[in-house]
Amino acid sequence: MPSNDGVLAVARSFRVLVIGGSYGGLAAALNLSDLARGRVCRFESNPDAKPPQYRIPLQITVVDERDGYFHLIGAPKSLACEKYASDTWTRFKDIPALRSPDFNFIQGSVSKVDCGSKIAHILDTETQENRTEKYDYLIAGSGLRRVFPVAPQSFRRADFLEEAKKHVENVRNATEGIVVVGGGAVGIEMAAELKILYPEQKITLIHSRSRLLSSEDLPDDFAERALEILREENVEVILGQRVVDTTAVDSGKERIWRLTLADGQQLTTGLVLSAISRSVPTSTYLSPEALNEEGLIKIRPSLQFSGDVPNAEHHFAIGDLAAWSGIKRCGGAMHMGQYAAQNIHQHMLAECTGEKPEFKNLNAFPAMIGLALGKKCAVYSPDEGTRASEDLMDVMFGKDMGSSICWNYMRLGHPPPA
Q: How many CB atoms lie within 10 A of CB 246?
A: 14
Q: Which is nearer to ligand FAD, 110 or 344 (CB)?
A: 110
Q: Which is nearer to ligand FAD, 38 or 141 (CB)?
A: 141
**Whether 55 contacts 38, CB under 8 Å:** yes
Q: Which is nearer to ligand FAD, 55 or 315 (CB)?
A: 315
d(CA 379, CA 386): 6
d(CA 26, CA 183): 30
Minimal CB distance residue for ligand FAD:
319
Element (H, E) at 113: strand 103-114
CA 275 to chain centre: 16
Verify cis geometry, omega within 30 degrees of 0, for the bond prior to 310: no
**Whether 20 contacts 141, CB under 8 Å:** yes
Name which position in 14, 16, 18, 21 contacts ligand FAD (CB under 6 A).
21
Query: What is the footprint of ligand FAD within residues 321-380 (CB under 6 A)?
Result: 321, 328-331, 333, 370, 372
Q: How far is the CB of 311 from ligand FAD (least distance, A)?
A: 20
Q: Which is nearer to ligand FAD, 301 or 331 (CB)?
A: 331
DSSP 8-state secondary structure symbol assigned to residue 320: G
DSSP for 174-205 reads: -TT-EEEE--SHHHHHHHHHHHHH-TTS-EEE
Applying CB under 6 A, the span of 49-57, 210-218, 239-247, 319-327 interacting with ligand FAD comes to: 319-327
Residue 139 carries which side chain, given as an amino acid letter?
Answer: I
Query: What is the footprint of ligand FAD within residues 116-175 (CB under 6 A)?
Result: 141-144, 146, 150-151
Answer yes or no whether residue 320 interacts with ligand FAD by CB under 6 A.
yes
Applying CB under 6 A, the span of 61-69, 80-88, 255-263, 382-390 interacting with ligand FAD comes to: 61-69
Q: How many CB atoms lie within 10 A of CB 93?
A: 10
Residue 338 carries which side chain, given as an amino acid letter?
Answer: Q
**Angle at CA of residue 389, ends 326 and 406, nearest 5°:** 55
The number of residues that bind ligand FAD (CB under 6 A) is 38
Q: How far is the CB of 220 from ligand FAD (least distance, A)?
A: 21
**Whether 226 contacts 183, CB under 8 Å:** no
Answer yes or no whether residue 72 interacts with ligand FAD by CB under 6 A.
yes
**Whether 137 contacts 347, CB under 8 Å:** yes
Applying CB under 6 A, the span of 67-75, 304-312, 356-364, 386-394 interacting with ligand FAD comes to: 67-75
Answer yes or no whether residue 29 interacts with ligand FAD by CB under 6 A.
no
Query: What is the footprint of ligand FAD within residues 82-111 (CB under 6 A)?
Result: 109-110
Q: Which is nearer to ligand FAD, 54 or 70 (CB)?
A: 70
Q: Which is nearer to ligand FAD, 167 or 329 (CB)?
A: 329
**Whether 394 contacts 402, CB under 8 Å:** no
Binding site for ligand FAD (CB under 6 A): 19-25, 63-66, 72-73, 75-76, 109-110, 141-144, 146, 150-151, 186, 189, 282, 285, 319-321, 328-331, 333, 370, 372
